[in-house]
Amino acid sequence: MKAPPPFGPIEPLLFERGASGRRAVRMGESDVPAVPAESLVPSFALAPSPPPLPELSEIEVVRHFTRLSRRNLSVDSAFYPLGSCTMKLNPKANERTATQPSFARAHPLQPARTVQGILEMLESLERFLAEITGLDAVTLEPAAGAHGEWTGLRTVFALYRERGESRSVVLVPDSAHGTNPSSCTICRFRAAPVRSRPNGRIDLDDLRARADSSVAALMVTNPNTLGLFESDIGSCAEILHKAGAQLYLDGANMNALAGIARPGDFGVDVMHLNLHKTFSTPHGGGGPGAGPVAVKSHLEPYLPRPRLLQGPAGLRWDWDRPRSIGKTRSFYGSFGVLVRAYAYIRTLGPDGLRGMAEDAILNANYLLSRVRKFLPVPHPDGCLHEFVATASDLKARTGVRALDVAKRLLDWGFHPPTIYFPLIVPEALMIEPTETETRETLDAFADALESIVEESARDPETLRLAPHLLSPSRPDEVKAAKDLKVTWGTDSCGPMKRVDNA
């Protein structure tokens, strides 16, 4: 006798559905002469038949993707206290703004005079972000934070190349986010570590020792990855500027600073912002985001081209930028994302932005005051919008790790916090509630976390197998990497020798 599967049926893949001859959409009768394909495309290029895509009816497609959508947590359905990700509410007014038909249908190569509304909006956004960051010029071109980071470093590279200064080192604190060192490498800078003190702040003595004429920049996050303000940032800037180097800020944590302190005022020369963090644009399951870059005026000539220019006939795109690094992507940026951020900033206004940061700090400190009663928080003093707890005592006492705590939180209906980052805290749980959560949600999360800590003493085995109320549970990630299967209908790829000179 068969029973219904406890978590619902496994959703077949698209390729396991459908049947030959099914089709969901038709284009209608052609109204031009039905010239055969053979006379339109030369035989060396004409495919005898189209690619073997699945053949599906509309109901199959609709049910499939609807069911897939329901098997996900999302900000609209659950609390996501992911440190460094700023998973705040994605306002629906922004969605409505961005999906205006005229914005959706505008082509990037339309003459400037037909899209003055769009150009004015983009120019305003540049000005808003310059004001918020305290810097002089902004490019909206980069498609993501990591892309912005690379773009910012690329302008630094261009600066020193033009000056004929050979600076190949970028200093990165050992508590940095993973993109920082790899952005350096692909700009052909060598990433060199700067020590953090135990409280996560940069060791000024180490910085002083390392800041010489081979250094192009120091990359910092402020507040840092422990949620603490780098109170010596002014001194950091002085040390660097004295050595002729630049101060780069990873703006991922701007949610704590907007309206309270401006990076340009504390010595930052170049930074990127994450519109999908601080500025509420949705994450989309992994993108699209946007990573605008703001710079002090000495770096402005190197920004990507084209740039918006006010002329007698209105705004237009100016390609005449001989010192620009060139282009970092096609067209002007992730326009749909930029519009959402614009709508957000217009909705909040100066009071709202400042309130956003203050309430983000309030929520984090409130949650911290509850969590530290049952989980150690190594650096609680001066936490701004996020804090880092540790499960290392828990692990020592009960064998339960940060990973197990995270998985059990899923059973409580919460997305777990960021785990195992920053690297300087073992068994780290980085928690950032954001300002859009109610007190009740914060309390419910703290309650759940407390139950898990108690459960770890009573019944650690249950935690090691969590989640219990979801499918899948504990997918085998080692097997996924070893027996690499990334395409349906083919054998696995591994273990394969990587082929050089192929």
At closest approach, how far in Å is the CB of 181 from another protein? 4
Spatial contact of 245 and 342, defined as CB atoms under 8 Å apart: no
Find all residues with CB under 8 Å of 41, minimum gap 6, and list them: none
Q: Identify which of residues 191 and 457 has a Cβ nearer to another protein in the complex.
A: 191
At closest approach, how far in Å is the CB of 327 from another protein? 4
Q: Identify which of residues 245 and 364 has a Cβ nearer to another protein in the complex.
A: 364
Helix H, strand E, coil C: the string for 280-349 is CCCCCCCCCCCCCEEECHHHHHHCCCCEEEEECCEEEEECCCCCCCCCCCCCCCCHHHHHHHHHHHHHHH
Q: Identify which of residues 227 and 457 has a Cβ nearer to another protein in the complex.
A: 227
Output b/e per residue, 192-222; b: 16+ Cβ within 10 A.
Answer: bebebeeebbbbeebbeebbeeebbbbbbbb
At closest approach, how far in Å is the CB of 73 from another protein? 4
At closest approach, how far in Å is the CB of 476 from another protein? 5
Q: Identify which of residues 244 and 288 has a Cβ nearer to another protein in the complex.
A: 288
Paired strand residues for 390: 428
Q: Identify which of residues 457 and 464 has a Cβ nearer to another protein in the complex.
A: 464
Q: Identify which of residues 24 and 457 has a Cβ nearer to another protein in the complex.
A: 24
Which pair of tokens denotes residue 53? Answer: 């895509």
Measured in residues, the chain has a length of 502
At closest approach, how far in Å is the CB of 371 from another protein? 12
Q: Identify which of residues 3 and 486 has a Cβ nearer to another protein in the complex.
A: 486
Q: Identify which of residues 435 and 457 has a Cβ nearer to another protein in the complex.
A: 435
Q: Identify which of residues 165 and 457 has a Cβ nearer to another protein in the complex.
A: 165
At closest approach, how far in Å is the CB of 291 from another protein? 9
Q: What's the angle, vertex CA 117, arms to CA 115 and CA 122, rounded to 5?
A: 95
Output b/e per residue, 132-150; b: 16+ Cβ within 10 A.
Answer: bbbbebbbbbbbbbbbbbb
Amino acid letter for position 440: E
At closest approach, how far in Å is the CB of 260 from another protein? 6
**DSSP per-residue string spanning 350-397:** HHHHHHHHHHHHHHHHHHHHHHTTTS--S--TTB-S-EEEE-HHHHHH
The alpha carbons of the chain give a radius of gyration, in whole angstroms, of: 26
CA distances, 118 to each of 111, 143, 316, 429, 446 (Å): 12, 18, 11, 42, 44
Q: Output phi, psi for 485, to 5 deg.
A: -125, 100
Find all residues with CB under 8 Å of 350, minimum gap 6, and list them: 259
Spatial contact of 73 and 283, defined as CB atoms under 8 Å apart: no
Find all residues with CB under 8 Å of 433, minimum gap 6, and list them: 79, 81, 360, 363, 364, 367, 441, 442, 445
At closest approach, how far in Å is the CB of 300 from another protein? 17
Q: Identify which of residues 458 and 490 has a Cβ nearer to another protein in the complex.
A: 490
At closest approach, how far in Å is the CB of 273 from another protein? 14
At closest approach, how far in Å is the CB of 204 from another protein? 14
